Amino acid sequence: MKKSIFECTILRLCKIHNCAGNITIVEGQKNIPFDVRRIYYLYDIPSGATRGGHAHKALYQLIVATSGSFNVLLDDGQNKKIITLNRPDHGLMVVPGIWRELFEFSSGAICLVLASRKYDKDDYIRSHEKFVNF
């Protein structure tokens, strides 16, 4: 089940420029490799707050900074890497079996998450110790 952080990639999303403003389109199985079953977003995040702090057994996610910026720590139990997201036309695809923590949110940051599955509490690993030993 465990995967490597090196399987998590930045996906460049379709950006259509227009003098009236840009638009980015995300389509499941077209420019991301999974069907989207759930969408949620984080906003009004207090200074110094950390989100995430869990892994998923089967869920794929695309994480996008639609406004502002934040960092994502990826951890596969052996390797760690920090990715800064700050462009609404780039998304971080996180594969199952990766611990993630989101932190250092800029003022006004909005984090959009597209998920491959509906919410399932049994898909979460919420303890880092259990994750490492999974």
Q: Which residues are catalytic?
A: 54
Dump pLDDT digits (tens) for 95-130.
Answer: 999 999 999 999 999 999 999 999 999 999 999 999
Q: Are 55 and 64 in contact (CB under 8 A)?
A: no
Q: What is the pLDDT of residues 3-60, one digit of tens each?
A: 999 999 999 999 999 999 999 999 999 999 999 999 999 999 999 999 999 999 999 9
Task: Say if CB 66 and CB 88 are below 8 A apart.
Answer: yes
Per-residue model confidence (pLDDT) at position 134: 83
Q: What is the pTM of this model?
A: 0.95
Per-residue model confidence as pLDDT tens digits over 60-96 = 999 999 999 999 999 999 999 999 999 999 999 999 9
d(CA 39, CA 118): 9
For 61-100, b/e burial (b = at least 16 CB within 10 A) is bbbbbbebbbbbbbbbbeeeeebebebbbbbbbbbbbbbb
pLDDT at 20 (0 to 100): 95
The pLDDT-based confidence of 1 (bands split at 50, 70, 90) is low
